[in-house]
Amino acid sequence: MKLIYKTLGRTGKIDVGKDLTGTASYFGSIDNRLIEADFTPEQCRDLTVRKEILWSSETATDQEVNAKDIDFIRSLKSDDPGVGYNRWPKFRPQSERT
């Protein structure tokens, strides 16, 4: 099963990611520096993260999953540093999007 998921933490910031294996325990590869910038070392000792499956497919190709991932990142604005942790595709303000 291939998945697109969203994680949400205590800050309210989100991360959209893909899992090409359907592993329940996979939480992606968020840049640790981004997380550490939002939390004190003490807060990092007890983090709660929620994972929500946004989309799944048993038949999609990896390329289709990659495209869905980008669609969700853009629609949820998780590439906006004020909203989320995704840094690719690079955030462009609405006025620059075509």
Q: How many CA atoms lie within 13 A of 28 on its CB side?
A: 23
Spans in the chain with pLDDT lower than 70: 94-95, 97-98
Total tally of structural domains belonging to the chain:
1
pLDDT tens-digit series, residues 20-37: 998 888 888 888 888 889
Report which secondary-structure segment, H or E, holds 68. Answer: helix 62-76
Q: What is the pLDDT of residue 61?
A: 97
Find the domain containing 59 and state its range.
2-96
